[in-house]
Structure 1
Amino acid sequence: MPPTAQRPVGEYTTDDRERWAAEAPKSQERTPFERDRARILHSSALRRLGAKTQVLGPASDDFVRTRLTHTLEVAQVGRELGKALGCDPDVVDTACLAHDLGHPPFGHNGERALAEVSAGIGGFEGNAQTLRLLTRLEPKVADPATGRPVGLNLTRASLDASTKYPWSALDAPLRPDGTPSAKFGVYADDAEVFAWLRVGAPERVRCLEAQVMDLADDISYSVHDVEDAVVGGRLELDVLADPAARDRVVAQVMDWYGSVVDEDGLQAAMRRLPATDTWVSGFDGSRRALAALKDMTSQLIGRFCDAAIDATREVYGSGPLTRYAAELVVPAPTLAEILVLKGLAVTYVMAPREQEPLYRRQRELIADLVAVLSDRAPVALEPPFAADWLAAGDDSGRLRVVVDQVASLTDVSAAEWHARLVRPSRL
């Protein structure tokens, strides 16, 4: 969208710096956006990401990325990408650090399990849970007027930048095949704060900082998941020389991510990537090979970021770009290359694991925890969630509190809670 008449291009306004609950004036040594970033860094939710699954479980080996290491990598990529476009780097950094805070134990597998058990109360979505955590669950600020917890009480600009899907499940846009998107960014009972943070925003349009965060996320996990897969012996990059393997990757991309890029575009990307100077062939696990692989990931990140910066600048010029003054432009060939890397991770890591008994047991563990905590609440809940449960007005509200509790757990603590609360009852 072109720059609007209401907002000077490159500037952040008083409304952007406003917080949901008024706070006493602070010293001027730090900007409001620097304070937002610090609040995320010091949050318990960020610390818990260190024991939550990214693609492989945190305990699978010492090299594999966790949600926390992935988040730090996204923040580094997003900060530099946003800064190159003129966004406030702390707003983008905050959004990147926050983007996965709402993910439950066991990654997307746990998200799927919680979505099933909460289907009757509006479902579960990691991005909607992130907003709930930032504005309600993470203990930092209480509204001085009402005493109500307001989470980290971030500025409007930072909250909006952290909202990857600015719509509810009922308002989700249609995908190319005509079905509603399964992704959404707000639950019904968080609608009030969502409406506040979206004041002045075009309906279902992400601000530029959120788009930068989303691309940084895509770049980071597409490149780094492939790196982890190669080091872990699950993938040889020479596989792209095999036409049958390329066809399998295309099929997985279409199945997991839809037809954002057509088959010809994906096949062309699979020819371009191995032709780059830094593409790794014949990985043997040596330090020299590890260094070459690391150089490849670094060069790919730079390749994708530079392409987006150049394409965006071509449309919007060289001045600073913020909020709704511009949209991030990602060239189709770049998007295709990112999707190919995602497809490699899906084909050789993520899709095969779906058939493993471990992943079924993880979903069962989550469902068991929701059932037993619903039965034993509020006693079995941690004190903050017990208070929420007692304050809830109906069974739907109480179930949402139980889901909040389970979503807050790490992979390790979820297993420990299950051993303590569920297994003894089965003896």
Structure 2
Amino acid sequence: MLKAYATQPDQSRGRRFTEAMSTFRSPFQRDRDRIIHSSAFRRLKHKTQVFIEHEGDYYRTRLTHSIEVAQVARTLAGALGLNTELAEAIALAHDLGHPPFGHTGEDALCELMAPYGGFDHNAQALRIVTRLERHYADFDGLNLTWETLEGIAKHNGPVADAQGQPLKGDKLPYALVECNAQFDLELHGYASAEAQVAAIADDIAYNHHDLHDGLRSGLFTESDLMDLPITGPAFAEVDRLYPGLEPMRRRHEALRRVFGIMVEDVLLVAGTRLGPADLKSAQDIRDLNLTIIRFSDRLFRELKVIRQFLFTRMYRAPSVVAMRAQVTDIVRDLFPLFMNAPQHLPAEWRRDVEAAQSETGLARIVADYVSGMTDRFAIQEHARLVRGEDVSPMRYL
């Protein structure tokens, strides 16, 4: 049973292109299914989370991260009486716009696209689901509901003020502006509770799995985590309950406790905030003008300590920094190559180039293409086109 403040499927604001209702799926189920079946979602399996895709089979990729975020989002939404299908759809789509090589690739594209309207992975996700996925006869994109698009755009909060001016940066990313012009997402307001759930689920997932991946990589050890808040007490509890437990089981038992602490904290805070409030609709959540699904102040402070530790010991570790430099060069080489010689683009992309009427239009097509690459495809194309190595071209899907 959905709470009154949950997003009700029969009250959806609809899709940009009108479609008949499904006889057996809710609007948000259809959104979720279309995202899962999209080409961009499949490519996430070969895109970096922290470690480059080929560095190891056990590290998280954008795909496994998105699945973990969706699982957390469904759990939180279900416990809070929210729409689990909408929360899951937003969670599955939230990273679709990430380029190859994670935030390193995004930083490089931001720099390259600065003269052409910038680059932002959230905005690029909207561009993918409204424009770049081209599988349906009646429309470009996936024709998702307004609520799912709103969640992708604003799951981290408003992005503009009441006058439409950006809250961060000099201007809104062009991809966000284009989408908003077609389907007003009310960028100045807060999103639904389900979108807020997807955002906090993202935080929970990466806080948890970055500890896992950092330990597996050897960039730090369990002993290093004993002095940190949350992780130290979690390992101490496992040692008390299971003295002499083998290392891998000990690690898993401790980190699943860390995971549980984050989930329970969010549920406690949300229950405390939602309980006394007289909320009669999903719009009432938006009208609160605050993030209602969040960590407690205490846990947020403790997680900041852990994030700073991870920043120093993992994200800025010498081996990771060295790899960042290599992959930055790949993006910086590929972008101008396609700008100067668009004939190297696949045929279906060259058709868009022929329709482009300016250098900015070309740059945005090239950014779409490069950002859609997987790690291994970008590495292979760089070897083939820039270094001139005899590599059979892979198929861009």
Q: For 2:149 and 2:131, how far apart are their aligned partners in 1? A: 12
Displacement of 1:65: 1.0
Q: 1:55 to 1:355 in 2, by over 3 A?
A: closer
From 116, 122, 130, give the equivalent of 1:127. 122
Structure 2 residue 61 is the aligned partner of structure 1 residue 66: yes
For residues 335-374 of structure 1, what are the structure 2 equivalents within 5 Å?
A: 335-353=300-318, 356-374=321-339
- Cα root mean square deviation, aligned: 2.9
For residues 182-261 of structure 1, what are the structure 2 equivalents within 5 Å?
A: 187-188=173-174, 190-195=176-181, 197-199=183-185, 201=186, 203-240=188-225
For residues 131-170 of structure 1, what are the structure 2 equivalents within 5 Å?
A: 131-141=126-136, 144=138, 149-163=139-153, 164-165=155-156, 166-167=158-159
SS in 1 for 2:51: coil
Contact kept, 8 Å, 2:6 with 2:194, in 1: the verdict is no
Q: 1:158 to 1:380 in 2, by over 3 A?
A: same
Q: 1:372 to 1:11 in 2, by over 3 A?
A: closer
- How many residue pairs get matched? 372
* Matched residue, 1:265: none
* Matched residue, 1:10: 6
* Matched residue, 1:254: none
Q: 1:383 to 1:152 in 2, by over 3 A?
A: farther
For residues 20-419 of structure 1, what are the structure 2 equivalents within 5 Å?
A: 20-23=16-19, 25-141=20-136, 144=138, 149-163=139-153, 164-165=155-156, 166-167=158-159, 171-173=165-167, 180=168, 187-188=173-174, 190-195=176-181, 197-199=183-185, 201=186, 203-240=188-225, 270-276=228-234, 288-317=246-275, 323-326=282-285, 327-353=292-318, 356-377=321-342, 379-419=343-383
Identity %: 33
Q: Which amino acid aligns with 2:180?
A: F
Q: For 1:202 and 1:121, how far apart are their aligned partners in 2? A: 22
Query: Structure 1 stretch 385-394 or stretch 85-94: which is displaced more?
Result: 385-394
Q: For 2:41 and 2:7, how far apart are their aligned partners in 1? A: 29
Q: 1:316 to 1:386 in 2, by over 3 A?
A: same
TM-score where L is the length of structure 1:
0.79
Q: 1:406 to 1:382 in 2, by over 3 A?
A: same
Which digits, 9 at most, give the CA deviation of each residue in 1:319-374, with x for residues without a partner? 99874433214211121233233222212111124874332221111111111111
Q: For 2:245 and 2:166, how far apart are their aligned partners in 1? A: 47
* Matched residue, 2:385: 421
Displacement of 1:119: 0.5
* Matched residue, 1:267: none
SS in 1 for 2:123: helix
Contact kept, 8 Å, 1:85 with 1:309, in 2: the verdict is yes
Q: Which amino acid aligns with 1:365?
A: I
* Matched residue, 1:250: none
Q: 1:190 to 1:356 in 2, by over 3 A?
A: closer
Q: Which amino acid aligns with 1:380?
A: H
Q: Which amino acid aligns with 1:308?
A: V
Contact kept, 8 Å, 1:65 with 1:228, in 2: the verdict is yes
Contact kept, 8 Å, 1:20 with 1:153, in 2: the verdict is yes
Displacement of 1:406: 0.3
* Matched residue, 1:255: none
Which digits, 9 at most, give the CA deviation of each residue in 1:261-292, with x for residues without a partner? xxxxxxxxx345412366677xxxx9832222
5+ residue gaps, structure 1, are 1-6, 174-179, 243-269
Contact kept, 8 Å, 2:123 with 2:175, in 1: the verdict is no
TM-score where L is the length of structure 2:
0.85
Query: Structure 1 stretch 153-162 or stretch 380-389: which is displaced more?
Result: 380-389
Displacement of 1:81: 0.8
Q: For 2:385 and 2:245, how far apart are their aligned partners in 1? A: 45
Contact kept, 8 Å, 1:21 with 1:153, in 2: the verdict is yes
Contact kept, 8 Å, 1:46 with 1:68, in 2: the verdict is yes
Q: 1:329 to 1:100 in 2, by over 3 A?
A: closer
Contact kept, 8 Å, 2:116 with 2:364, in 1: the verdict is yes
Q: 1:290 to 1:110 in 2, by over 3 A?
A: same
SS in 1 for 2:142: coil
* Matched residue, 2:392: none
Q: Which amino acid aligns with 1:238?
A: S
Q: For 2:176 and 2:364, how far apart are their aligned partners in 1? A: 12
Contact kept, 8 Å, 2:4 with 2:279, in 1: the verdict is no
SS in 2 for 1:276: helix
Displacement of 1:172: 3.1
Q: For 1:280 and 1:57, how far apart are their aligned partners in 2? A: 32
